[in-house]
């Protein structure tokens, strides 16, 4: 079985093509700029009015680039769907000075930019250029999705859904959506629409990037020998940690990486393991929150990944940089692959 796994992060999109008939270490791997980065670069380089089509995607630096573009005197028009990349509430998008496309108007002199987290056509052209097959039995994609509820802020809504999922000890693999998926995960739904628009009928597995990483870390060579441990993804924007015992998540907290110090990170990890951490203490520290079902027996080791993982070195914890399959960049893709395999 051939699996295409794509993990779309803030800094990079990490891609692995895994063939079950070969060793994991012999998989084809790519680490490319995250889509929002090259779209932001396009915006900066174009000296013209802009018209955006396409899908909801990770916004990253796009909003800042658009505001700077409008400050130069250029117009920005977005179709309603892709405009939700900026804010789910279209009225808030309009308040920034962005115009929502009117089907009765002609925008022929505008430079067109297509938005989306996934570009299968571009990836296929790249691989075919190396005479590599682009046929897959399964496709799995990870993006970070806060979800959308018009009556709740995205920080609170995201963690509410995490709490609902961890209503009992579960395997990290259970965070993957193989078939039905709630409509409120708008970015994940957009990924599935993109895949279908590319002419691929096979429904892709989709998963949140943080839990794809958590799943992948559990298959690290060191982690696989442990029973009671912490896994933590220290990303550019968010840090997500889970306590693991008997192969199941026993508790989780999520915070903003920029708000953490070595001291506070160590405190949160220890309190997660002991079961003493509270949602209020993390939320009031401007994090997303915390939820614990059970304390774990001990912290045999802290397994860490993510582009800001060096923060763990400012703690006194016993840590290990995750490298499942021998690659620190592939925790998310391996998490996706293991979730596909079930």
Using 70 as the pLDDT threshold, list the residues of the chain that sit under it.
Answer: none
The model's pTM is: 0.95
Torsion sign (Cα): 331, 333, 336, 338: negative
Cα 99 to Cα 203: distance, rounded to the nearest angstrom: 33
User: Tell me: the pLDDT tens digits for 29-51?
Assistant: 999 999 999 999 999 999 999 99
Cα 172 to Cα 213: distance, rounded to the nearest angstrom: 9
User: Tell me: the pLDDT tens digits for 137-173?
Assistant: 999 999 999 999 988 988 899 999 999 999 999 999 9
DSSP string over 296-335 = -S--S-EEEESTTGGGGGGSSS-EEE--GGG-GGGHHHHH
Q: How far is CA 217 from the centre of its chain?
A: 15
Cα 144 to Cα 238: distance, rounded to the nearest angstrom: 10
- Check residue 291 and give its pLDDT: 98
Cα 92 to Cα 234: distance, rounded to the nearest angstrom: 30
What Rg do the C-alpha atoms of the chain give, in angstroms? 20
Cα 35 to Cα 61: distance, rounded to the nearest angstrom: 10
Which of 176, 188, 137 shows the shortest CA–CA distance to 17? 137
Cα 226 to Cα 228: distance, rounded to the nearest angstrom: 6
- Check residue 122 and give its pLDDT: 86
On whether the CB atoms of residues 172 and 335 are closer than 8 A, the answer is yes
C-alpha distances in Å from residue 59, one per residue of 3, 101, 117, 314: 27, 19, 10, 30
Q: Residue 213: exposed, middle, or buried by beta-carbon count in 10 A (0-12, 13-18, 19+)?
A: buried
Structure tokens at 161: 């859904």
b/e string for 299-332 if b means 16 or more Cβ within 10 A?
A: bbbbbbbbbbbebbeebebebbbbbbbebbbbbb
DSSP string over 28-82 = EEEEEE-HHHHHHHHHHH--S-EEEEE-----TTHHHHHHHHHHTT--EEE-HHH
- Check residue 125 and give its pLDDT: 87
Cα 336 to Cα 252: distance, rounded to the nearest angstrom: 19
Structure tokens at 77: 């028009």
Structure tokens at 55: 């899908």
- Check residue 126 and give its pLDDT: 85
Torsion of CA 158, 164, 169, 172, to 10 degrees: -40
Structure tokens at 297: 């027996």
- Check residue 132 and give its pLDDT: 77
């Amino acid at each position: 079985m051939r699996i295409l796994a794509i993990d779309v992060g803030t800094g990079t999109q990490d891609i692995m093509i895994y063939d079950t008939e070969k060793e994991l270490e012999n998989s084809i791997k790519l680490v490319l700029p995250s889509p929002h980065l090259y779209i932001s670069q396009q915006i900066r380089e174009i000296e013209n009015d802009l018209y955006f089509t396409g899908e909801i995607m990770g916004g990253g630096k796009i909003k800042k680039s658009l505001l700077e573009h409008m400050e130069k005197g250029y117009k920005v028009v977005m179709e309603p769907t892709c405009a939700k990349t900026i804010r789910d509430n279209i009225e808030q998008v309009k308040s920034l000075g962005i115009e929502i496309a009117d089907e009765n108007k002609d925008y022929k002199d505008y430079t067109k930019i297509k938005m989306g987290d996934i570009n299968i056509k571009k990836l296929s052209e790249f691989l075919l250029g190396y005479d590599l097959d682009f046929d897959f039995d399964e496709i799995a994609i990870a993006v970070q999705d806060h979800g959308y509820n018009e009556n709740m802020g995205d920080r609170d809504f995201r963690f509410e859904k995490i709490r609902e999922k961890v209503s009992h000890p579960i395997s990290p693999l259970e965070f993957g959506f193989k078939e039905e998926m709630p409509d409120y995960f708008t970015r994940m739904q957009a990924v599935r629409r993109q895949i279908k628009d590319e002419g691929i009928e096979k429904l892709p597995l989709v998963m949140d990037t943080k839990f794809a990483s958590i799943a992948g870390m559990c298959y690290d060579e060191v982690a696989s020998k442990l029973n009671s441990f912490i896994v933590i993804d220290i990303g550019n924007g968010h840090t997500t940690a889970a306590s693991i015992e008997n192969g199941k998540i026993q508790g989780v907290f999520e915070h903003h990486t920029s708000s953490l110090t070595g001291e506070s990170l160590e405190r949160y990890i220890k309190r997660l393991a002991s079961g003493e951490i509270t949602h209020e203490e993390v939320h009031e520290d401007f994090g997303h929150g915390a939820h614990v079902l059970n304390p774990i027996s001990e912290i045999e080791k802290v397994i860490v990944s993510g582009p800001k993982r060096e923060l763990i070195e400012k703690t006194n914890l016993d840590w290990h940089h995750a490298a499942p399959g021998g690659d620190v960049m592939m925790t998310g893709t391996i998490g996706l692959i293991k979730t596909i395999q079930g």
